[in-house]
Structure 1
C-alpha cells in the first residue's frame, strides 16, 4: 500500500507541473499546432503574456530568430526593439523584472522571455523563445555550477541528463512556461533554413489562442 501511495505521489508531482497550472495556450503555425502551459509561479510573466495576447501584441507575429539546437525566438526582434527605443525622445526602455524559480528552467520545450544585456536581467515585453537545446552531460552541469555559482536541483539534473536543454541560460533568462503537447512541431521549426543572421529564409508566422487545456 505504501509503495502504491509513493508512486501516486510521484505521478501527481510530475503531471501537476503542467496540468495543475491555470493558464494554457495554443500556438498555431504552418508546421502544426502545439500547446503551452504558463507557470503560476512566474505570475508577472504569465500575466504579461496573457495581456499581450488579448491586446493583439502577437497579431501577425513571426518566429524570426531560429537556431537549431538552441532556441526558436519570436515576437519583436532585438533589432526592432533597439530601433524603437532609440527613436523614443524620452529614451524609455520598459522591461519586466526577472522571475527565477527552480521549477522553471531551460529544459527542452521551455518557454522563456528574451532580454538585452541589462544587469538586472529584466525581460523584454514582447519577445519570447522556446528551447530546442542539445544533449547535456553531468560534467557540463558540474562546470556550469562552478561558472555560474548556482546549484542544479535533483529534478533539473534528471531532466537535463535525460532529455537535454540549455542549462547555461538558467538564472540569466526567465522561463515562464513549457510545451506540453506538440513538441515535435517546434522541433520542425527549429530545422528551417536561415540566413547568416538566423532569420528564416521563409516567414514562419504563428498565432496564439488562450485555451482551457
Structure 2
C-alpha cells in the first residue's frame, strides 16, 4: 500500500512538472522578444509572388541571388507608398527611393501577403514599435517559401527621427550591417534615436498617422515587450 502511494505521488509530480513545462512553452513568445533597450534586433492574400505550386520548390530568394532578384523586382514594382491598417488606426508611409533593395523587399512582402499574417510584436514606449513577426504557422510558411536571407545594407544619411521606418538587424556577427528581411521598426522617441544612424538602414517614413504610432506605443505589454492584445497588421500599397 505504501509503495502504491509513493507511485501515485511520483505520477502526480511528473504530471505537474509536464504541465508547468507546457505553460512555460506557451509563454515563450512573451520572453523571446526581450532585448536591450538601445538596440533593435530580429526575433524569428497570397498572389503570384508566392504560388501554391512553389511550396515544395526552392525559395524565391537566397543569399546568393538576393541583390539581383530584388533589383529586378524593384524595377517591375515601383510603388513607394503604403498604408498600415491596425485596430488602433492607419499609418501612412512613404518608402525611400535611395534604398532600392529595401523598398523592393518591403513591397514584395506586402504583395506576398506576408505582413498580413504578422503583428507589432515588440512595443517600447518612447523607443520603437517593431513588426514583421508572429507565432502563426502561416507566417512561417510564407517566410520559408520566400527564403532565408538578409538584405544588403543601404546605409544613408537619413536620421532616425520619430516616424522613421527602419530595418531590424542582428548586431552580433554582422559586420556589414545587413538587414533582417522581414522585421522593421518605427521610431517612437520624440527626440529620435540618433545612435542608430549609420547602424540600421532607414528606408521610409510615416507621412500620416503618428498619433496611431503613439497609441500603439502606449499599449500594455508583457515582460517580453509583446502587446497583451495583439496588434495585427494589414498593409496595402497605394
2:232 aligned residue: 205
1:191 aligned residue: 218
SS in 1 for 2:81: strand
How far residue 100 of structure 1 moved from its aligned partner, in angstroms, is 1.1
Gaps of at least 5 residues in structure 1 are: 1-20, 135-163
1:168 aligned residue: 195
Are the equivalent residues in 2 in contact too, given 1:111–1:129 (CA < 8 A)? yes
Q: Residues 56, 33 of structure 1: CA spacing in aligned structure 2 closer, same or farther, 3 A cutoff? A: same
1:99 and 2:154 are equivalent in the alignment? yes
1:27 aligned residue: 84
Q: Which of 162, 166, 170 is the aligned partner of 1:108?
A: 162
1:93-122 Cα distance to aligned partner (Å, 9 max, x none): 5111111111x2210000011111212110
Are the equivalent residues in 2 in contact too, given 1:96–1:124 (CA < 8 A)? yes
1:130 and 2:186 are equivalent in the alignment? yes
2:15 aligned residue: none
Are the equivalent residues in 2 in contact too, given 1:72–1:132 (CA < 8 A)? yes
1:179 and 2:234 are equivalent in the alignment? no
Are the equivalent residues in 2 in contact too, given 1:38–1:46 (CA < 8 A)? yes
2-structure distance, mates of 1:57, 1:32? 20
> Over aligned residue pairs, what C-alpha RMSD do you find?
2.2
Gaps of at least 5 residues in structure 2 are: 1-77
2-structure distance, mates of 1:114, 1:76? 11
1-structure distance, mates of 2:87, 2:116? 15
SS in 2 for 1:59: helix
1:62 aligned residue: 119
Q: Which of 93, 97, 105 is the aligned partner of 1:36?
A: 93
* Structure index of larger Rg: 2
Q: Residues 200, 96 of structure 1: CA spacing in aligned structure 2 closer, same or farther, 3 A cutoff? A: same
SS in 2 for 1:99: coil
Q: After the TM superposition, which parts of structure 1 deviate over 3 Å for at least 4 consecutive aligned residues?
A: none
SS in 2 for 1:72: strand
2-structure distance, mates of 1:101, 1:125? 18
How far residue 39 of structure 1 moved from its aligned partner, in angstroms, is 0.3
How far residue 76 of structure 1 moved from its aligned partner, in angstroms, is 2.3
2-structure distance, mates of 1:199, 1:23? 29
1:75 and 2:132 are equivalent in the alignment? yes
